[in-house]
Structure 1
Amino acid sequence: MSIAEVRTQAGLTQDEVAQRMQTMQSNIALREAGRTTPSTRTQETFACAVGARLKISFELAHTS
């Protein structure tokens, strides 16, 4: 699920999430557009701001 979908399901606007994360709305918009690569800490902060739990997993790449 994308961060935009998570935020929307939480019923929050970009501005509300930004306030909870103590950042600017434009930073949230950039993350949702995939124009930045947030750190794990930022992802954890986002998850907390929207009332979600961060889950990180690995998948092996299959080579031919």
Structure 2
Amino acid sequence: MLYGTIVIFGLLMVLLGYVIGRKIGQKEGFQKAMDYIPIALKIELYQKKKCPICNIKTTEVEEKN
């Protein structure tokens, strides 16, 4: 009976560690994505010469001004 209790307690501790680690990992991953998005949008603008948000070529905007 004692071994069963120890095994169950050990499994619960492993599960608790997994849940906490997963939550922390999701928060860190979301923050990294939010930091990367502006850089990716700027790279796309420079490479394609097209605004990734409104899909207008930058040369069209320059001609209007």
- Provide the TM-score with structure 1 as the length reference: 0.20
Structure whose alpha-carbon radius of gyration is higher: 2
- Provide the TM-score with structure 2 as the length reference: 0.20
Q: By percentage of residues, which structure has more helix?
A: 2
